[in-house]
């Protein structure tokens, strides 16, 4: 086990949806964790989180205002830290197209700052969050996250003799996260209108709790250099609309710039270095180093068939309308009723 009462953890972007769920799970698993640092640039969100976790009850929780663009501030925040979860990113696809350098500065150069700050301190384990949009990207956001993934994986090549590993987790749309389709539809349904970009569109689906569990699993099991992908269901955008607003009008508005009809998490080009770990896939770097580590560790794994791809449209598991309604009540709005 990586985590115990002596763990000292830092999460970048810790005031976001993932960060909040991650904090709750850490305190659920190890209430006496030695230190948990929230590193983010939004003082209001930090203040709001502090109201939920008062210092009198959670003395080990610390808040650092800082940006991943600031390497010196990262180094200071990482003093005494042994575990890092990198969740900070700019994520909105249209905003990336309009403000490309801002996304590059945060998602690419910020990722490199995290890598270098970890190399300069005593950090032992790093997991960075990725996105399905980083697989064969067609928009700038996806491209910046692909660059980030490559930086974290390649960091294992320059760690020297340090007891340090870098890995990445990649998953699809987080159910109920800010800016995602379900909260958008829940709000639009009040108007009686649910705009559908393309009726054939599909997406992967993962809950926040599943995403947190995957990151914790990666922190405890990664050897360094893997890009982990979960086996999760897909949904059809038309089924989401039916689940939320069966009586709403559903005009077709057309696909937006930078969008795909189906999202990918593993491309056919990745199949040659992808292994099946049961609950997760792992894409290994092509240099063979990590493959040798897995062989030496005698971990049961299997290379996927040549040409294998993991795509939300060809995924064998799809959520039904009723399953979607149940998940919305469980993870987004307990009082939800279809419109």
Instruction: Pinpoint the alpha helices (H) of the chain.
Output: 17-29, 43-52, 71-77, 93-98, 100-103, 110-120, 140-154, 181-188, 208-221, 237-244, 289-296, 321-331
Architecture of domain 1-170: 3-Layer(aba) Sandwich (3.40)
Question: Above pLDDT 90, what percent of the chain?
Answer: 82
Name the fold adopted by 173-207+231-272+293-339. UDP-galactose 4-epimerase; domain 1 (3.90.25)
* pLDDT at residue 295, as a whole number: 67
CA distance 275 to 281: 6
Domain with CATH 3.40.50.720 in the chain: 1-170
pLDDT score of 194 more than 90? yes
Render pLDDT for 254-292 as a digit per residue (tens, 0 to 9). Answer: 988 888 999 999 999 999 889 999 999 999 988 777 777
CA distance 132 to 310: 10
Average pLDDT over residues 222-243: 96
pLDDT score of 154 more than 50? yes
Q: How far is CA 206 from the centre of its chain?
A: 10
pLDDT score of 224 more than 80? yes
Question: Above pLDDT 70, what percent of the chain?
Answer: 96
Rounded to a whole number of angstroms, the CA Rg of the chain reads 20
- What is the band of 301 on the pLDDT scale with cuts at 50, 70, 90? low
- What is the band of 300 on the pLDDT scale with cuts at 50, 70, 90? very low
Active site residues: 133
Min mean pLDDT across 225-234, 248-257, 297-306 is at 297-306
Per-residue three-class SS string for 255-295: CCCCCCCCCEEECHHHHHHEEECCCEEEECCCCCHHHHHHH
What angle (nearest 5°) sits at the alpha carbon of residue 86, between those of residues 83 and 89? 165
* pLDDT at residue 259, as a whole number: 86
Average pLDDT over residues 29-58: 95
CA distance 228 to 153: 11
pLDDT score of 328 more than 90? yes
pLDDT score of 153 more than 50? yes
Domain with CATH 3.90.25.30 in the chain: 173-207+231-272+293-339
Mean pLDDT across the chain, nearest whole number? 92
């Amino acid at each position: 086990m990586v985590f115990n009462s002596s763990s000292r953890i830092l999460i970048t972007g810790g005031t976001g949806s993932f960060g909040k769920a991650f904090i709750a799970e850490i305190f659920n698993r190890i209430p006496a964790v030695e230190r948990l640092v929230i590193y983010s640039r939004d003082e209001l969100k930090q203040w709001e989180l502090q109201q939920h976790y008062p210092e009198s009850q959670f003395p080990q929780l610390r808040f650092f205002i800082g940006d991943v663009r600031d390497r010196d501030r990262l180094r200071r925040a990482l003093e005494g830290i042994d575990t890092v979860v990198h969740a900070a990113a700019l994520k909105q696809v249209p905003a990336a197209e309009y403000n490309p350098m801002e996304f590059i500065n945060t998602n690419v150069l910020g990722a490199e700052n995290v890598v270098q700050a970890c190399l300069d301190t005593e950090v032992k384990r790093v997991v960075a969050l990725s996105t399905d949009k980083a697989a064969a990207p067609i928009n700038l956001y996806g491209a910046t996250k692909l660059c980030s993934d490559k930086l974290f994986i390649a960091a294992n090549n320059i760690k020297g003799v340090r007891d340090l590993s870098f890995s990445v987790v990649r998953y699809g749309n987080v159910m109920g996260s800010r800016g995602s389709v379900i909260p958008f539809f829940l709000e639009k349904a009040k108007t009686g209108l649910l705009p559908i970009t393309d009726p054939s569109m599909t997406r992967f689906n993962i809950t926040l709790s599943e995403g947190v569990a995957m990151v914790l699993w990666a922190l405890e099991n990664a050897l360094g250099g893997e890009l982990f992908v979960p086996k999760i269901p897909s949904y059809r955008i038309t089924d989401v609309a039916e689940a939320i607003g069966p009586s709403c009008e559903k005009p077709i508005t057309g696909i937006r710039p930078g969008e795909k009809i189906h999202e990918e998490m593993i491309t056919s080009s990745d199949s040659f270095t992808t292994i099946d770990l049961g609950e997760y896939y792992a894409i290994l770097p092509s240099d063979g180093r990590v493959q040798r580590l897995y062989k030496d560790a005698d971990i049961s794994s299997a290379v996927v068939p040549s040409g294998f791809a993991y795509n939300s449209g060809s995924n064998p598991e799809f959520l039904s309308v009723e399953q979607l309604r149940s998940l919305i009540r469980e993870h987004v709005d307990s009082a939800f009723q279809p419109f």
